[in-house]
Chains A and B, each alone.
Chain A
Amino acid sequence: MSERIEQIGERLEGIALEVVTLEAGDIPALGNLMNALEALGADAEGLDDPRFLQVAGAVKGYLEKLILADATDLEPLEEGVTALQAFQRDLANGETPQPDVSGVLQKLGKAGTGPQTGAEDAGAETSASEQDAAESSEEPVEPLPSAADLSEEDRQILQDFVGESKENLEAIEVHLVNLEQEPEDLETVNSIFRPFHTIKGVSGFLNLKDVNKLSHSAENLLDKARNGDLKVGEGIIDLVLESVDTLKRMIDEVQEGLDENGLLTSTVDIAPLVRKIDMVSEEQEKWGDSRVGEILLRKGAITREDLDGGLERQKIQPGRKLGEILLEEKKTESKEVISALRDQRRYSKGHVDLQVKVDTVKLDNMVDLTGELVIAQSMLRQNPYITGSNDQKLYHNLGQLNQITSGLQRIAMSMRMVPIKSTFQKMVRLVRDLAKNSGKEVALEMSGEDTEIDRNVVDELYEPMVHMIRNAVDHGLESPDEREAAGKHRRGTVLLRAFHRGGNIVIEIEDDGRGLNREAILEKAISRGLIPEDHKLTDVEICNLIFHPGFSTAEKITDISGRGVGMDVVKKAIEKLRGRVEINTRPGRGSAFVINLPLTLAIIEGMLVRVGKQRYIIPALAILESFRPSREQYSTVEGKGELIQTRGSLVPLVRLHTIFGVESDFEQPWEGLVVAVEHEDRKMCLLLDELLGKEEVVIKSLGGGLRNIKGIAGGAILGDGRVGLILDMSGIFDVAQGNGRPSH
């Protein structure tokens, strides 16, 4: 201990020496002192007397003020160091120090508390320059109300500023998209912060006051997010987006001013936006990390006595929630407690659930293994020894195992799930831009953003959704005038909904526009030769024509949609996810595109079928119907091979056993069964021996040399522990048409 005290003494001596020769405003010397004081603080960490650290801390605080030119008087610093030295001497002599630190502390604390006082006292010296700097934001360096008064140099600078700022603002948008996906990523927050910061700095020089003010507010907001004082949520992202847009508009106006030699001031009223941003920044400070009781108290829902009383009771009954106690004592209403809890959650940063990043491969393996566990468990249950046993305990244990495995499977599945929110949110921007470009008024409403969906599906879903939204705004909604004439609100609505139905996730994109025009679709389909002229089609079939490759009903090609990709791409993308897309439309009332998706890509729903001794799984999505054909339905046509007549059309017959080279029970189609399947508008009938039933199986990829077999999408372990192969429709079609053979 005494060694330590000696070391502190030496350090203090060095500090004292520097203080004597110090001049206010000597930044490098102040920096050295700062470092010395920090080292001192580290040395003194273990001292019993907290007062030493207290004084040292106050000295450091004062030093900061000197650096920031909030103070210029060096005397308190000297006194502080002297007091520390006296303190150290007492400690070295083994005496209990009795210094009266309060006087020194007061002096150190008080002097220059207000940033103004120190500066005013000092007059010239360091503070003066700082004052200048602070004031110059109010007082323009060179007043630039109009471009006409600009020097060539200033004009150039402004021109640069306009170009560079716009580039920066565009970069922000890209980062914002990333931020939406990973709100915790500080590097991204920083990349968004930086351009605002720079624009703020430069606009200050150029005396673009409003630009400066708005970028300053946005910068503040992001600074808080950067420091973790603010949780990045959609509200904040929206605000930042709005700021970006407003700044862009203002900078455009600067450009206009430059072009026309006119005014550079903006006509945009930024006050409401600035207020909103500042409010969000402050709101956070107000509620952040508060206890529920305090929030209730501040909201006036309970009195101080209520709170104290409640807290007392909580001490006696630990583990009970304060809200519960208050409710029980009828001090407040549940409504208030709930809203307080909500505020707490909304604004606190400490309540974010901890997260771990995991490689998706690991996750997939785990999903795989739990799937196998479920199968192993069901094999165990079907074991004749067990089914034949009368042991109650065994059944009890098996029941328990069952619960655990299904729980495990549920969790494993849920780990791959993410809310669809981020994808939905990206549509906000899209709709806004689309509306602007098309001159329509559009409101986007969303529900079910928290619906969870497989992570892989979310990514794949983005493109088709963008396309459908574009379609809804571009083709679905009418122009405001047309709408008004039809007795509708000028503003059209696009509804985005996600929810669970059965084992599926349903995503609906609905607009209240003009609906699909069946006659136009039909006419077009006929003119393009997609269907014969006299073809009778149901309404649903007509609507489905828009999914036909190369179909587009848009009369004029806008820069948004109606170019290249059509709805067939959407359909393909959805089918790739093993989903389905349907259209509901009512003329004049709007249309809805309904996407049905499986909950996860790891499990497939299929029909288990038998061919000889082998079992295969046909994806349920592809199946149209299954039946035993009559002798009359079967025919052979020269050059086309075997055909089955079903529902008025001839469909090629494909014998699964010849494709896979296995023995089958039956040779004649009318002895076995056929399953009619459809893939990408092609149909065929698969001949097989027996339908075993519908089953949900966990997809396993086939390893190594088996991976590239055409017609097989993967394997699955069936309930009895044996393997079934999952058929890949597009592969089967190719093989059947002679484009390839499975390599058996």
Chain B
Amino acid sequence: MAIDTSMKVLVVDDFATMRRIVKGVLKQLGFSNIVEAEDGTTALDALKMEKVGLIVSDWNMPKMTGLDLLKAVRSDESLKETPFIMVTAEGQKENVIEAVKAGVNNYIVKPFTPETFSEKLEKVFG
């Protein structure tokens, strides 16, 4: 896998356990530079502070949903090229379509394995 694992990854989820799980998966894949945010607004703040190579965000969050975050990222000139992976739950097909229309790079359905995640990453960066 020819992905630069030194890049900074931003994990956005309101549930700390979930962030931990995603971080765990990312670490298994070799990523070590991981930052967290607990909702869309804090994520945006973090994005403005530092350069991030990949955003992994949950869909369902209070204050600012993953979709709104995606839209905000895509409409920001300095951020809009940032790869964005949306995490959704099973059975939320209309969410997936919405996210795809808003320009998500890929999506992944909970629960997922490191292997699935790695495949998605390859699609995004391949």
Q: Among the listed stretches A124-132, A266-274, A626-634, which one makes contact with chain B, having 4 or more residues with CB under 8 Å of it?
A: A124-132
Task: Place the interface of chain B in its size category.
Answer: 35 or more
Residues of A within 8 A of B100 (CB): 27, 30-31, 34, 67
Q: What 1/0 flags go to A190-222 for Cβ under 8 Å of B? A: 010110011011101100000000000001000
Residues of B within 8 A of A30 (CB): 100
- Whether A28 pairs with B105 at a CB distance below 8 angstroms is yes
- Whether B109 pairs with A27 at a CB distance below 8 angstroms is no
- Whether B62 pairs with A128 at a CB distance below 8 angstroms is no
- Whether B101 pairs with A27 at a CB distance below 8 angstroms is no
State in angstroms the CA–CA spacing of A64 and B93 once bound together.
Answer: 9
* Cβ contact of A201, chosen from B18, B96, B103, cutoff 8 A: B18
- Whether A157 pairs with B20 at a CB distance below 8 angstroms is yes
Total A-B contacts with CB atoms under 8 angstroms apart: 103
- Whether B106 pairs with A27 at a CB distance below 8 angstroms is yes
- Whether B17 pairs with A164 at a CB distance below 8 angstroms is yes
- Whether A141 pairs with B113 at a CB distance below 8 angstroms is yes
- Whether A133 pairs with B15 at a CB distance below 8 angstroms is no
- Whether B101 pairs with A34 at a CB distance below 8 angstroms is yes
A27-B105, A136-B111 known, 19 other contacts, Cβ within 8 Å: A27-B104, A31-B103, A38-B101, A67-B97, A68-B97, A133-B90, A133-B108, A133-B109, A133-B112, A133-B113, A136-B112, A137-B90, A156-B20, A157-B17, A160-B16, A191-B62, A198-B18, A204-B110, A205-B111
Interface residues of chain B: helix, strand, loop or mixed (majority):
mixed
* Cβ contact of B119, chosen from A129, A161, A165, cutoff 8 A: A129
- Whether B113 pairs with A27 at a CB distance below 8 angstroms is no
- Whether B111 pairs with A31 at a CB distance below 8 angstroms is no
* Cβ contact of A128, chosen from B16, B104, B112, B119, cutoff 8 A: B119
A25 at the interface (CB under 8 A from B): yes
Ranked 5 nearest A-B pairs via Cβ: A204-B111, A31-B100, A133-B109, A161-B17, A201-B110
State in angstroms the CA–CA spacing of A200 and B17 once bound together.
Answer: 12
B102 at the interface (CB under 8 A from A): yes
A35 at the interface (CB under 8 A from B): yes
- Whether A134 pairs with B21 at a CB distance below 8 angstroms is no
Interface residues of chain A: helix, strand, loop or mixed (majority):
helix
> For residues 72 through 120 of chain B, which have their beta carbon under 8 Å from a beta carbon of chain A?
89-90, 93, 96-97, 100-113, 115-116, 119-120
A559 at the interface (CB under 8 A from B): no
Instruction: Contacts A132-B116, A194-B62, A205-B21 given; indicate if A31 touches B101 (C-beta within 8 A).
Output: yes
> For residues 43 through 92 of chain B, which have their beta carbon under 8 Å from a beta carbon of chain A?
60-62, 89-90
Chosen A-B contacts, 12 in total, with CB atoms closer than 8 Å, are A64-B97, A132-B112, A133-B108, A133-B110, A136-B113, A136-B116, A153-B24, A157-B21, A168-B15, A198-B15, A198-B60, A201-B111
State in angstroms the CA–CA spacing of A25 and B107 once bound together.
Answer: 11
Residues of B within 8 A of A128 (CB): 119
* Cβ contact of B123, chosen from A27, A141, A165, A201, cutoff 8 A: A27
Report which residue of A31, A34, A64, A164 has the largest number of chain B beta carbons within 10 angstroms of its beta carbon. Answer: A31
- Whether A197 pairs with B60 at a CB distance below 8 angstroms is yes
Distance in Å: Cβ of A599 to nearest Cβ of chain B: 41
Residues of B within 8 A of A28 (CB): 103-105
- Whether B103 pairs with A164 at a CB distance below 8 angstroms is no
* Cβ contact of A129, chosen from B16, B90, B120, cutoff 8 A: B120
Distance in Å: Cβ of B55 to nearest Cβ of chain A: 14
State in angstroms the CA–CA spacing of A126 and B113 once bound together.
Answer: 15
B14 at the interface (CB under 8 A from A): yes
State in angstroms the CA–CA spacing of A26 and B124 once bound together.
Answer: 8
Q: What 1/0 flags go to A135-171 for Cβ under 8 Å of B? A: 0110001000000000001001100110011001000
Distance in Å: Cβ of A113 to nearest Cβ of chain B: 14
Residues of B within 8 A of A130 (CB): 109
Residues of A within 8 A of B102 (CB): 31
- Whether B16 pairs with A137 at a CB distance below 8 angstroms is no
Q: What 1/0 flags go to A482-522 for Cβ under 8 Å of B? A: 00000000000000000000000000000000000000000
Residues of A within 8 A of B62 (CB): 191, 194
State in angstroms the CA–CA spacing of A422 and B59 once bound together.
Answer: 33
Report which residue of A28, A129, A198 has the largest number of chain B beta carbons within 10 angstroms of its beta carbon. Answer: A129
Distance in Å: Cβ of B44 to nearest Cβ of chain A: 20
State in angstroms the CA–CA spacing of A35 and B107 once bound together.
Answer: 17
State in angstroms the CA–CA spacing of A27 and B104 once bound together.
Answer: 7
- Whether B97 pairs with A132 at a CB distance below 8 angstroms is no
- Whether B97 pairs with A200 at a CB distance below 8 angstroms is no
